[in-house]
A and B are shown apart, each in its own frame.
Chain A
C-alpha cells in the first residue's frame, strides 16, 4: 500500500491529518450527513401529505409521466458513472479523460434539468397542477425543485471545475488568463442554457406541428438567433479548450474533483430515493 517508493499519490490517505482522511473529503461527508437530514425532512413532508390527501386533490398517477421520469432517472445514473470515471482519471493524472468525462457529466446533468423543466411545464400548463392550487403541487414542486436546485448547483460546480483544469501553470508569462477564464465560464454556461432552451423549444414545436419538417422549419424560423448564439459559444468553448502549455491542474487536484464527485453522487442517490418514494409508490 505504501506509495512513497513508487512516487504515486495514495488518494485514500493523507499523512498530514490525524486520521489520514483528507480534510476536504471529511468535510464533504459530514456535509452529506447533514444533507441526509435536510432531504429526510423534505421527503417526509411530501409523504406525510400523501398519507391523507385532502378531498379534491388530483390523483398523482394521472399527473405523472413514468416514461419521462424513468428516462431522466437513467440519465442521472449514467452521469454518476461519468463522474466516477472523471475522479478515476484525474487520480491517475489523465487530464484528457478527465475533461471529456466532466463534459459528459455536465451534458447528462443538463439533460436531467431539461427533463425537469419539461415536466414542470407539462404539469403546470397541461395538467393544471401548480405550486399553489393543491397540497400535492406544493410538496411535489418544492421537493423536486429543491433537488433540481442541487443538480443545478452541481452542474455549475462541474463547469467551474472543467474551466479550472485549463488554468496555466505559469501565470506570470500569461497575464490574460483570468479574462480567458471568465470568458470560458460564460461560454460554457451559455452553451448549456441555450442548448437546453433550443432542445425544449424543438420538442414543443414538434409536438404542435402537423409534420416533422414543418415543426423543424417553425423552430428554425423562431430560434435562429439562439442557434447562432450557441454556435458562437460552442466555438468559443472549442477555441479556449485548445491545449496551450502546461496547466496547474494534475493529480494533486484529485481531491477537489473527488469532493465534487461525492456531492454529485449524493444528488444522484437522493433522486434514487425520490424516484421510488415520490413516483413509483404512486403506481402500486
Chain B
C-alpha cells in the first residue's frame, strides 16, 4: 500500500492552485506507462519477468488514479481505509480462487470434456 511519492508537500490552498498542472502531469504519466506496457509484451523476456513488470505497471497506474485523481491523498485516511478493506478482500478472494483453481487437484479432466464434446457433436 505504498503511497506514490508526494509531489506536493502541504495540502491546502497552494495545492488547490497547482492541482491542474498535477492532474495533467499524472495523465501524461499514465499515458506513457500504457505505451510502455504495450511495448513490454513484445520484449523477449521470460513470462515471469514480463508478468511481474506488467502487474507492477498497472499497480502504479491504479495507485496514481486513486490517490491523485480520486483525491485520496487529500482526504481523511478513513476513505483510504474503507476502500482498501474492499480492495484487499476482493484481491485476496481473487488470489485464493486462482490458487485453488490453479492447483493440480482442480485441473479439469480435459479428456472427459473432449469425450463429451465428441459425443454431443456426433
Contacts and interface: CB of A to CB of B under 8 A. Distances in A.
A and B in direct contact, judged by CB atoms within 8 A:
yes
Nearest to B23: A84
Interface stretch (A39-47, A167-175, A218-226): A39-47
Interface range for B: 35 or more
A78 B19 CA distance: 16
B76 A48 contact: no
A44 B34 contact: no
Interface in B86-122: 86-87, 89-91, 93-94, 97-98, 101-102, 107-108, 110, 113-114, 117
B79 to A, nearest CB: 5
B1 interface: no
Given A37-B89, A280-B41, A284-B47, A88 B98 contact: no
A5 B91 CA distance: 44
A29 B79 CA distance: 6
Contacts of B34: 70, 73-74, 77, 275
Nearest to B19: A88
Interface in B39-89: 40-42, 47, 50-51, 54-55, 57-58, 61-62, 65-66, 68-71, 74-76, 78-79, 82-83, 85-87, 89
A34 interface: yes
Contacts of A152: none
B110 A55 contact: yes
B62 A273 contact: yes
A247 interface: no
Contacts of B19: 88
Nearest to B79: A29
Interface residues of A, number: 59
B57 to A, nearest CB: 7
Q: Which secondary structure dominates where chain B touches chain A? A: helix
B24 interface: yes
B16 to A, nearest CB: 8
Specify the main secondary structure of chain A where it touches its partner.
helix
B91 A52 contact: no
A268 B66 CA distance: 10
Contacts of A273: 58, 62
Interface stretch (A18-26, A109-117, A120-128, A155-163): A18-26
A44 B65 contact: no
A217 to B, nearest CB: 36
A261 B65 CA distance: 11
A1 interface: yes
B74 A88 contact: no
A58 B102 CA distance: 21
Contact of B65 (A29, A85, A269, A284): A269
Contacts of B70: 261-262, 265-266
A275 B58 contact: yes
Contact of B38 (A41, A66, A268): A66
A81 interface: yes
A80 B64 CA distance: 12
B6 interface: no
A54 interface: yes
Output the residue of A33, A41, A56, A281 with the most chain B CB within 10 A. Answer: A33
11 contacts: A21-B79, A41-B93, A48-B97, A51-B102, A55-B113, A84-B23, A265-B65, A272-B65, A276-B37, A276-B57, A280-B54
